Amino acid sequence: MRVVVRLVKSVPPLAAALVVAMLGMGCGGGGAYPKHDALGSGESLTQAGALNARNLAELQLHHSRAVVSPQPWAAYWWPYVGSGIANGWRDPDNLAPADKYDRAYRGAHEPLADWERARHGPGLANVASWWGHCNGWAAAALMVSEPRLPKFINGVSFGVRDQKALLAESWMEFSGDFIGTRVDEEKDLSSAAFWDVVPAQFHLVLTNIVGKQNHGLILDRHTGHEIWNQPLVAYDIAPITRDDYLGSHPSYPDIYRVNVTARIWWANDAIGPDEITPPFDMEKLHEEYFDHFFPGRLLRYELWLDAPAEFDAQGKLVRSGDILITRRNDVYVGGAWKNGINPALLAHTHPDYMWVPFSQQRSSGYKNPRIDDQWVRANIGEPAH
């Protein structure tokens, strides 16, 4: 952990941002709560915690790092310019996942592969190179166990690639909860949509939703207009010391400012379609941002508190105010991102938006309406565990 702090303090923001920008390719906590109270019904797995959900020092003490469990899996993102999941790339029989589905599916249906080529293919109007199945894969990677072995279904061989591709298609539409306004304009680097998710939301979601509740979380790692949904695998917030404390500004005496540095890692969607995801190892990847399976990013930001922070003799944070956030005219305000100003790099800094999937939904015409979700669930998808 000391290494983290040293790195952060010795690298100028521009250099740090350079590292940040070169990351991506392609589209809780431990401890044990007392066994149970009068109304409990079994052993608890969570870290304790009737803690103040907004208090920086308490969150830092209990939830400064977490690895999501079950671990989300990495995959391939099946871009539209390659015909989505109707692409037989690298398949031994040169058959696409959609073609195999059409052969194995016993009920009457219109071909999945035809729709895929027409609507998730290169001929789609205005198709951009980054359009693909990252959203469906990201949701499936949280909700369904990773397919790790080939399967025969109705006499048709489905490799890992085929199973992952069908899961990505099946989860293209879902219910869920989102935070952050999506950036839609290519050159937008200044709007409120660009600057949210704001640091207070980012910090509170990481610590309360992922850290405290062990909810899986998906983030659009591209700050700008492109969308690259990635399931978060882990985060680690560096220790907050006296050197990070900025105190209050003379003109704004009610607000106390503190610098924070966080590392995040996500599952990659640009691996080979048949590859299997290894276990995530935070210690091994702590200084690594270019891992094949788990790319990462270093983010710096300032949080604003409603009371001063206090530090012990060693300079470690021991008490603090609560994290402040407010909303005015649907614009969120809470802290400041500090990842430089270079336009080319800014697009690869804080998440554009973040979300948690709840469940699959039927196609509204966006995902392939010819896929039978129930068939996919019965033959491929097992809940993540």
Which of positions 41-80 make contact with other proteins (CB under 8 A)?
Answer: 41-46, 48-54
CB of 208 to other proteins, least distance (A): 6
User: CA 257 from chain center: how many Å?
Assistant: 27
Nearer residue to other proteins within complex by CB, 42 or 155? 42
Q: Does 7 bind other proteins (CB under 8 A)?
A: no
CB of 315 to other proteins, least distance (A): 20
Identity of the residue numbered 220 = D
Bridge partners, 218 (sequence order): 231, 355
**Number of Cα atoms under 13 Å in the Cβ half of residue 239:** 17
**Cα separation, 281 vs 328, whole angstroms:** 41
Query: Which segment (87-95, 200-208, 233-241, 282-290) binds other proteins by CB under 8 A?
Result: 200-208
**Cα separation, 145 vs 385, whole angstroms:** 6
**Cα separation, 161 vs 275, whole angstroms:** 8
CB of 268 to other proteins, least distance (A): 18
- Which of 8, 17, 20, 104 is close enough to bind other proteins by CB under 8 A? 17
Degrees, nearest 5: CA angle 270-134-208: 105
Which of positions 229-288 make contact with other proteins (CB under 8 A)?
Answer: 229, 249, 251-252, 254-255
Q: Find tokens 């290169």 and name the residue.
A: 122
Nearer residue to other proteins within complex by CB, 157 or 214? 214
Quick one: which H or E segment has residue 14? helix 13-21
Which of positions 286-315 make contact with other proteins (CB under 8 A)?
Answer: 300, 304, 306
Q: Are 220 and 207 in contact (CB under 8 A)?
A: no
SS3 at position 18 = helix
Alpha carbon of 311 to those of 7, 92, 258, 320, 323: distances in Å? Answer: 21, 61, 12, 9, 17
Q: Does 227 bind other proteins (CB under 8 A)?
A: yes
- Which of 36, 103, 109, 292 is close enough to bind other proteins by CB under 8 A? 36
CB of 42 to other proteins, least distance (A): 5
CB of 7 to other proteins, least distance (A): 15
> What tokens appear for 73 in the block?
């899996």
CB of 201 to other proteins, least distance (A): 5
Q: Per-residue x/- mask for other proteins, residues 106 to 135, rule CB under 8 A?
A: ---------x---x----xxx-x-xx---x
Nearer residue to other proteins within complex by CB, 109 or 249? 249
Q: Does 334 bind other proteins (CB under 8 A)?
A: yes
Which of positions 207-226 make contact with other proteins (CB under 8 A)?
Answer: 208-209, 212-215, 220, 225
Pairs from 313-321 (Cβ < 8 Å, separation ≥ 24): 315/241, 315/242, 315/243, 316/239, 316/240, 316/241, 317/56, 317/57, 317/60, 317/239, 317/240, 317/241, 318/57, 319/57, 320/55, 320/56, 320/57, 320/256, 320/258, 321/55, 321/56, 321/256
CB of 94 to other proteins, least distance (A): 27
Helices of type H across 120-220:
134-143, 160-170, 192-195, 199-204
Q: How many residues form the binding site for other proteins (CB under 8 A)?
A: 102
CB of 166 to other proteins, least distance (A): 13
CB of 370 to other proteins, least distance (A): 10
Which of positions 152-191 make contact with other proteins (CB under 8 A)?
Answer: 171, 174-179, 182, 184
Q: Are 71 and 234 in contact (CB under 8 A)?
A: no
- Which of 337, 347, 351, 375 is close enough to bind other proteins by CB under 8 A? 337
Nearer residue to other proteins within complex by CB, 39 or 313? 39
Q: Does 342 bind other proteins (CB under 8 A)?
A: yes
Q: Does 361 bind other proteins (CB under 8 A)?
A: yes
